[in-house]
Amino acid sequence: MKKSVFSFLAFILVCGYALGQNLSPKKGFYPIQKTQRKMTQLAKNKMLMQGQEMTMITNMNMYSTVHIQNPVSDSQKISITFNKVEGDIEIMGKKQDIPDASKNFKPILLTTNNQGIIHSITGSPELLKQMEQSYSGSFQLNKTFTQFLNIKSIKNIGDSWIDSNMDAGNSMITKYIYDRNENGNAILSFTTSMIVQSDMNQNGIDVHSDLSGKMSGKMTVDTKTNYIISTDGNINLEGRMEMNTQEIPVNINSTFNDSIIK
């Protein structure tokens, strides 16, 4: 169960945050602040094993503190501390609680350059390893954390733009549209085409995944700092897993929200 929880949390972080590539703050560095964030995800997975459909429903809440520190010279430090991870998992109608895994996570420390691009990540080695495996290497890892902090400058209502990230058979191509202003913030919609390939080892068994599909939703952005206040979306992926030479059809449907709670 422990490795399954780590793998699922890695999937949450990579997919839930995998938006807004090629980002940069307005003035070179991120705004200095400390925020409490909550991320929720409800995932419904279906797999066809030996002719029988197996269902798994996972409901997770992750609480974290994001501390953006004062810039020094040409770099800036950002720490992410996981305060609480709670949830439950239901497999074929049988539900059980998932123990809080946050005590296993050391804080993650990000270092950015003066364009706001993250160029190093340290801390919580087990979680970072699972994140790397989720995308077959370092694909998206640096950018995974960048995009929930900041998005590139937005100008006029109705503007649209496309960001992409592709590496070793994985790709994420996202179209953003600046929909409207609301309470002084910008409301953006996004649609992402995804191809996800990964190789992981679960309890001594090598597992290869080959999935594709869409992610879509909306985000609220502070127009003064371009800091992302909240993101709501859903993910639909279909494909196959290879495990012990067996090919297993897979369907993943999940909804997620990431937002500042204070």
pTM for this one? 0.79
How does pLDDT run across 135-170, given as a tens digit for each residue? 544 445 555 565 555 566 667 899 888 877 776 677
DSSP strand pairing (246-260 vs 118-122) = unpaired
CA angle 153-159-161, nearest 5°?
70
Q: End-to-end CA distance of the chain, in Å?
A: 32
Is residue 37 within 8 A of residue 16, CB to CB? The reply is no
How does pLDDT run across 35-69, given as a tens digit for each residue? 898 988 888 888 887 778 889 898 888 898 989 89
Question: What is the set of domains in the chain, with CATH numbers?
Answer: 2-260 (2.30.230)
Q: Output Rg (C-alpha) for the chain, integer angstroms.
A: 18
